[in-house]
């Protein structure tokens, strides 16, 4: 609920969500998408798009919905894929890779979106230890490069390793 409110998918029950000085609900969906990327905890694709196509979908924020990807879009997507070390999956169907590989593909899609802020819901939930470390390092690198990063986790070690600040919730309360 908290993440959906911060992303503008749910209206706040009280207060306001502001982004860059503007109320989030005054921004168009395209403006929000150019500013904020979201990586869900779990995503089971319905269509057998290639991993490369899924990552390219992050570029939609910069074009009309039905525009063909440009050479620049392909370059940005390829860089995101390589950054996360999933180049070997680029032509594989998204529906035929593991849950952990899907999570890395979704993170690559978020990077291809080139947002200022990235919101990740349990980004390491279905990853093995090696890929958990890769995602945690990427979170730190994104923050170090000036991105705003918000992630949820049930693992206090991940919060201590990758977060500058932590907000603890239990049964909906701080």
- 79-88 pLDDT per residue, tens: 999 998 999 9
Summarised one tens digit per residue, pLDDT across range 146-172 is 899 999 998 888 888 888 888 888 776
Identify the pLDDT of residue 13. Answer: 87
Cα–Cα dist 74/86, whole Å: 15
Helix segments in 12-128, DSSP class H: 29-35, 51-56, 71-83, 99-112
Cα–Cα dist 174/165, whole Å: 14
Identify the pLDDT of residue 174. Answer: 67
Quote the distance between the C-alpha of residue 7 and its chain's center.
12
DSSP string, 121-164: ESTTTT--HHHHHHHHHHHHHHHHTT-EEEEE-S-HHHHHHH-S
Instruction: Flag residues of the chain having pLDDT under 50.
Output: none
């Amino acid at each position: 609920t908290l993440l959906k409110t911060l992303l503008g998918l749910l209206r706040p029950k009280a207060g306001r969500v502001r982004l860059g000085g503007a109320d989030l609900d005054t921004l168009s969906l395209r403006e929000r998408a150019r500013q904020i990327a979201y990586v869900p905890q779990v995503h089971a694709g319905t269509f057998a798009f290639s991993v490369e196509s899924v990552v390219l979908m992050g570029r939609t924020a910069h074009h009309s919905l039905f525009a063909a990807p440009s050479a620049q879009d392909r370059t940005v997507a390829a860089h995101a894929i390589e950054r996360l070390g999933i180049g070997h999956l680029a032509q594989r169907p998204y529906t035929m890779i593991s849950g952990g590989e899907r999570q890395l593909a979704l993170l690559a899609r978020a990077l291809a979106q080139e947002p200022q802020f990235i919101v990740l819901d349990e980004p390491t939930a279905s990853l093995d230890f090696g890929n958990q470390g890769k995602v945690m390092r990427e979170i730190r690198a994104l923050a170090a490069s000036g991105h705003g990063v918000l992630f949820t986790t049930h693992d206090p070690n991940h919060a201590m390793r990758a977060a500058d600040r932590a907000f603890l919730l239990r049964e909906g309360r701080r």
